[in-house]
Amino acid sequence: MSAVAEKKTADESPKRYVSPAQERVIVRAARLRLSTDKKQGIESPAWVRKIARRPL
Q: What is the dihedral of CA 7, 13, 14, 16, to 10 degrees?
A: -160
Question: What value does the mean pLDDT take over residues 20-45?
Answer: 97
Containing structural domain, residue 34:
20-53
Assess contact for 49 and 32: CB atoms under 8 A.
Answer: no
pTM for the model stands at 0.71
Query: Residue 31 falls within a domain, yes or no?
Result: yes
pLDDT at 10: 60
Rounded Cα distance between 34 and 55, Å, is: 15
Q: Domain tally for the chain?
A: 1
- Give the pLDDT confidence score for residue 55 in this predicted structure: 94
> Average pLDDT for residues 21-49, to the nearest whole number?
97
Q: Would you say 52 and 34 are in contact if contact means Cβ atoms under 8 Å apart?
A: yes
pLDDT of 47 = 97
Decide if 34 is inside a domain.
Answer: yes
What pLDDT digit, counting tens, does each position of 3-25 carry?
Answer: 666 666 665 667 789 999 999 99
Exposure of 4 in the CB half-sphere (CA atoms within 13 A): 2
pLDDT for residue 2 is more than 80: no
The answer to whether residue 2 is domain-embedded is no
Q: Are 22 and 47 in contact (CB under 8 A)?
A: no
